[in-house]
């Protein structure tokens, strides 16, 4: 029997507790012996609940117990999670976590520490919830040179955009419904501002590139400026609007960004709706590989955490992976990235000739019910060229990149 401890009994931590106890026989069949939750660390009390029997309030109880071989960290945030995880590794215990903030900020350091002690620091659940993506990237696709990772990595924003698309709702209306249904936090800034997706694409990029991508270096744009009018144009085009997190190598440069995109029907992420996540990986040999599923939720995410626990237990004394180093990865200036752009400007047909003279050949889009403005799609152009062109026109409303 392998004894484990869970630090943090919130949504994910309680899910881990449930998965270990509910699927005890399944886990035993896979691992060859049982997992047992010996301790759960939390500041709160849970009177009358089964977890009360294993509840502790002092992390030292876990760190000083030699029977505990694996610690699950589901507290969230960087501190005190980092201090607790580091001390657990120093105490000879492997760690599995779902904490994307911790992994994005301290992943390379904790991987190196785990490797130095023949332990494991595993974080499958930090990206994509229950969708397997970390392990496929570092194991199943290890023979490929990964050139691009693009994903819908935040279920809250995808739910909001889906509601806006299907019901013509405003951003504010869709956000309120997401909050009412428990899909968005009371303070949704990390989600709607794109920061959650930014941390996740930083983790995936670091794994692919073997160097540390600082999420603060990634251009990040959320969905707060997307309007119902944008969706009228999207429907006319037959496209969808998604918040995409992208990391891509082009001619030796690494471009990384989080931003809303118009996605065409042929793209693997076009039909990923509601709270679901989708991640597309492009390798030089395998071409496009798609991962799809629930990107959040107690049991979906907890399932991925427990899978890491099972692997750590099965690989006792062996480090599974430590190829992500602390060497910083330079992210290229976005100015060199080439895309099409969908643009909205105020005015009527009399402006078309002038717009063509500034942007070159464009495709105008006339959507029913929209007056007083012009929408058009540019030819592929660099971000720098687009910015220069946009500065030469008046009454600019907005732009959305096209994938």
Distance between CA atoms of 115 and 113, rounded to whole angstroms? 5
Give per-residue burial for 183-202: e unless 16+ CB within 10 Å, then b. bbeeebebbbbbbbbbbbbb
Q: Which one of 200, 211, 242, 248 is the catalytic residue?
A: 200
**Dihedral Cα 112, 301, 308, 105, nearest 10 deg:** 0
87's tokens? 């001390």
Instruction: Please tell me the distance from the alpha carbon of residue 24 to that of residue 20, in angstroms, as a whole number.
Output: 6
Measure the CA–CA gap between 143 and 138, rounded to whole angstroms: 9
What is the 3 state secondary structure string of 63-112? Answer: HCCCCEEEEEECCCCCCCHHHHHHHHHHCCCEEEECCHHHHHHHHHHHHH
Helix or strand run (H / E) with residue 362? strand 362-365
Q: In the annotation, is 264 catalytic?
A: no
Residue 190 token pair: 């990390």
Provide the 3-class DSSP secondary structure of residue 27: helix
Nearest in space to 96 (alpha carbons), one of 130, 69, 73: 73
Q: Which of 121, 94, 120 is nearest to 107 (CA)?
A: 121
Backbone angles phi, psi at 342, to 5 degrees: -100, 130
* Rounded CA separation 185/134 (Å): 26
Which pair of tokens denotes residue 188? 């949704």
Distance between start and end Cα atoms, the chain: 50
Q: Which residues pair with 402 in a beta bridge?
A: 262, 340
Strands (E), 284-322: 287-294
Burial of 60 (C-beta count, 10 Å sphere; 0-12/13-18/19+): exposed
Residue 319 burial class via C-beta count within 10 angstroms: exposed 0-12, middle 13-18, buried 19 and up:
middle
For residue 68, list its beta bridge partners: 3
Residues annotated catalytic, as ranges: 200
């Amino acid at each position: 029997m392998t004894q484990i401890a869970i630090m943090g009994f919130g949504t994910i931590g309680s899910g881990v507790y449930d998965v270990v106890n509910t699927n005890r026989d399944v886990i035993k069949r896979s691992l060859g012996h049982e997992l047992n939750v010996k301790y759960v660390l939390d500041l709160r009390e849970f009177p009358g609940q089964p977890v009360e029997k294993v509840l502790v309030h002092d992390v030292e109880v876990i760190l000083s117990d030699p029977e505990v071989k694996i610690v699950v960290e589901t507290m969230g945030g960087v501190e005190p999670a980092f201090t607790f995880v580091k001390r657990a590794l120093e105490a000879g215990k492997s760690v599995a976590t779902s904490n994307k903030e911790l992994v994005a900020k301290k992943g390379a350091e904790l991987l190196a520490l785990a490797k130095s002690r023949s332990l494991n620091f595993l974080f499958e659940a930090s990206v994509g919830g229950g969708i397997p993506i970390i392990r496929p990237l570092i194991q199943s696709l290890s023979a490929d040179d990964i050139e691009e990772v693009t994903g819908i990595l935040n279920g809250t924003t995808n739910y909001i955009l889906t509601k806006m698309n299907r019901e013509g709702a405003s951003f504010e209306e869709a956000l309120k419904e997401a909050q009412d249904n428990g899909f968005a936090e009371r303070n949704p800034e990390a989600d709607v501002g794109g920061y959650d997706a930014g941390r996740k694409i930083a983790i995936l990029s670091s794994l692919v590139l073997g160097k540390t991508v600082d999420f603060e270096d990634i251009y990040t744009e959320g969905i707060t400026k997307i309007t119902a009018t944008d969706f009228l144009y999207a429907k006319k085009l037959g496209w969808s609007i998604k918040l995409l997190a992208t990391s891509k190598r082009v001619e030796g440069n690494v471009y990384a960004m989080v931003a809303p995109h118009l996605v065409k029907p042929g793209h693997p992420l076009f039909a990923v709706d509601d709270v679901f996540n989708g991640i597309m990986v492009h390798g030089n040999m395998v071409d496009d590989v798609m991962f799809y599923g629930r990107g959040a939720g107690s049991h979906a995410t907890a399932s991925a955490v427990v899978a890491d626990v099972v692997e750590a237990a099965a690989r006792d004394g062996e480090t599974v992976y430590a190829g992500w180093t602390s060497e910083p990865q330079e992210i290229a200036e976005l100015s060199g990235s080439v895309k099409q752009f969908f643009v909205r400007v105020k005015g009527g047909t009399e402006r078309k000739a002038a717009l063509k003279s500034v942007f070159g050949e464009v495709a105008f889009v006339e959507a029913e019910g929209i007056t007083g403005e012009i929408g058009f799609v540019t030819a592929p152009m660099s971000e720098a060229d687009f910015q220069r062109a946009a500065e030469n026109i008046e009454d600019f409303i907005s732009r959305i990149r096209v994938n």
